[in-house]
Chains A and B, each alone.
Chain A
Amino acid sequence: MMCKRIKNALLPVVILLILCVQGCACPQGTELSKRLIVEAVGVDLDDGAYKVTLQALDAHAAGQSDDPNENGSRTRLCSFTGATVGEALAGAAAETGLTPLYSQARVLVLGRSLAEQDVSAPLDFFLREYHTRSDILIAVADASAADILAADPGGSVPGAVLLEEALLTGSENGECCAVKLFRFTGFLLSETDTAYCPVVRLRSEDKGERPTAAPGETAFFQNGRLAFTAGPEITRGLLFLTDAVKKTSFTVRGEDGAYTLRVAKTDTTVRARKTDTDGAAFTVNVTAVCDITEFAASRFPDLGETQAARAQTAGTAYLQQLLNDAFGFLYGEHGADVCRLARRAALRFPKKEAAFREELARKTADIRLNAVLTVRRTGKENLS
């Protein structure tokens, strides 16, 4: 009786285990040593064909504790050419003798010359193919994607991991943007949104060290191709406008000295509304809560309520200027709708969608940017 009960209970468990293992593990399992573990993918345009460069983990070198390969790196670089990205990558297994594993890829870098053409065709592979992940970061190389992927500082961490980390922390700190592939392609597919992603460049080293890839400007795409780039201040403004900044610091000058303000919390709301004459109007409110981390003035003066209020005023003015400059450059000069105003108008006033879109295109819409900055903490010292 007991034996039958145990058998009854065990049978479903065994079946479930077999199915789980068979279902989520690989039925056609490939050993790790036979895998080309791709860390980053670069796509360049080379004589009308796509040159795809893979930065992959060198399984043998990665297994060594202190002795990487002859290049002093734990990664290897492979390049393949084809009429399409898929055709180029089809040769990867034959040339390397390893089965590529793209699901670990962290960054997709597009060469500058390719970005200036239509990026839709090469991106279709990443949109359709399930081997790659939709949440990898995308960037544009300031020259060749292959050069960016070739930059590997050596050591135990692959260059792609460092680049991913640089992009993510840079974005949080308001120094560069970090855009995931699904978001980028979503913007490209949209009729009204503007797609953007960071530009990565090689950081030259004077001390004979290996060059490393680092994020810098931001690239903006219109009609599927790179239209213009923007520098760090515009990028910082863009991050505030798109509510992407998490923690950044900036210094403002008050009457008594210089205040360094660290952003603790930000929130951006965009609201579509109508003018009195039924015209398109939008309000972009950016609120930032900051901590004063430094009050640089002579002879350690006390930080009182007056000074804190001055820091707040100066900070608000800085933020307002930052937003005005970024929005003026992006929308005023280039017509880039980074705040997704057209989509918000379509949601709020569906019947006026076409009229609002036209007003946005003609740049006659009433757009107000409001910055509000409040000081939350004043560091170790109490308010005097």
Chain B
Amino acid sequence: MTARGGISAFQFFCTVFVCRAIALFTFIITNKESFPPGDRAVLFAPLALVGTAAVIPVLLVLGKREDRTLFALTDRLHPAVSKGAALLYTAGAVWSAGVSLTRFDLFMSTVMFSGAKLLGLILLLAASAVPVALRGRETVARMSLPVLALLAASLVYVGVTVIGEFAPADLELPLRNGVLPLFRNARSAVARTGELAALLVFAPHIRGGVKKGVFLWWLSFGVTGSLLYTLTTGVLGAYGERQMFQLYALTVLSKLGAAERLDALICAIWVLCSLVRLAFHLIVAGMFLEGGFRVHRGAPLYCGLALPVLSVYFVLSRSVTVFARVIGSGINDLIFLLLLIAAPLSVLAAVKIKTHVQAKKGIL
């Protein structure tokens, strides 16, 4: 068992919040029917319920004292299981990092520098994430706090400056298409939150209540998302529904006197969020490899991890169509199901069976 220390639960959830926030801002709503505007205002409730329920297997792995890692269990089964689990979770983190880079590239090359090739910026972002990851989880957790503060300040500012354009008549009633689309979207949003699998290796390094934090995290993330999307619907109306990046379209309207391009400054904060997210994924991947293969988390490992991340990016970032097709194929659902539900439950069941069998043998 590792001595508890490192980061607080608040810092951990702030880091995950920053990681999810950038995904939220660069999220593309494919059509109005799949995600009705009225439902967005109440999405936080099913999101908190479904999200918390989905993380229960992970919390079971952590044990009562919330300080057990996945490898503490897999090592009891067989070293090969630990290695397999390490590879599986590393692949998940690498995929997630690659997807986030692709989202970032699609957003920047569509909105900020239309049509420009941003390979230089992407490589710089990936190259910057390696030294940040090398500084360790504490550095990333500490870094996420000012980034989150900046993000929150920018969002409050956007909200205050555009509230004058808010037209209640543009809102729509929730549950117009029934309760099913609401839960389908909640499930889909939960499936995109693979970051919580990090708890399987982070837990011994987190001070404070993780279980309570999970529910509060889902609730705060859901409320933030619901508020932002409700504001977007009320301000932009039908125009917003036609925009690929709806939350960015909202920031375009915010102005401060003669300063009219505040969206460019806000995008700089989003760049920082992307850096935090990328570094976080590299650290998570590194910790899984460390747990499974007992490798040293150093520069060669992180540089080595950056390569498959960039490979995922190169494959997905060819066009919006390729990205939408891959993401729309249900791969996120599959990864989430595998990493946060199936794998932890299988390991728990296997450990229980093995303990039972060993106990029986001991009695015999």
Contacts and interface: CB of A to CB of B under 8 A. Distances in A.
A8 B134 CA distance: 11
B169 A340 contact: yes
Given A24-B265, A186-B236, A131 B272 contact: no
A2 interface: no
Contact of B124 (A18, A185, A340): A18
Contacts of B112: 23-24
Contacts of B239: 127, 134, 182-183, 185-186, 189
B132 interface: yes
Given A19-B271, A130-B114, A134-B253, A11 B238 contact: no
Nearest to A129: B114
Nearest to A189: B238
B128 interface: yes
A12 interface: yes
Contacts of B334: none
Interface stretch (B86-94, B115-123, B324-332, B348-356): B115-123
Interface of A: 8, 11-12, 15-16, 18-20, 22-24, 26-28, 103, 127, 129-131, 133-135, 182-183, 185-187, 189-190, 270, 340, 343-344, 346-347, 350
A24 B267 contact: yes
Interface stretch (B2-10, B44-52, B171-179, B223-231): B171-179
A156 B240 CA distance: 36
B252 A134 contact: yes
Given A12-B139, A133-B252, A135-B253, A23 B267 contact: yes
B125 A19 contact: yes
A189 B242 contact: yes
A16 B269 CA distance: 10
Nearest to A188: B238
Contacts of A15: 128, 131-132, 275
Contacts of A130: 110-111, 114
Contact of B268 (A24, A133, A134, A189): A24
Nearest to A23: B271
Given A135-B253, A182-B240, 20 more contacts: A11-B135, A12-B143, A16-B272, A18-B124, A19-B271, A20-B272, A22-B120, A23-B108, A23-B267, A24-B265, A24-B268, A27-B118, A129-B114, A131-B114, A133-B252, A182-B253, A183-B237, A185-B242, A189-B239, A340-B167
Contacts of B271: 19-20, 22-24
Contacts of B114: 129-131
A22 B275 CA distance: 13
B254 to A, nearest CB: 10
B342 interface: no
Contacts of B261: 103
Interface string B97-118: 0000000000010111110101
Contacts of A22: 120-121, 124, 271
Contact of B135 (A12, A127, A183, A344): A12
Given A20-B272, A23-B121, A350-B176, A11 B131 contact: yes
23 contacts: A11-B135, A15-B132, A15-B275, A20-B268, A23-B108, A23-B268, A27-B121, A103-B261, A127-B239, A130-B110, A130-B114, A134-B253, A135-B253, A182-B249, A185-B239, A186-B236, A186-B238, A187-B237, A189-B239, A190-B237, A270-B169, A347-B172, A350-B173
Nearest to A20: B268
B113 A27 contact: yes
B29 to A, nearest CB: 15
Interface in B222-276: 236-242, 249, 252-253, 261, 264-265, 267-268, 270-272, 275
Contacts of A16: 272, 275
B263 to A, nearest CB: 9
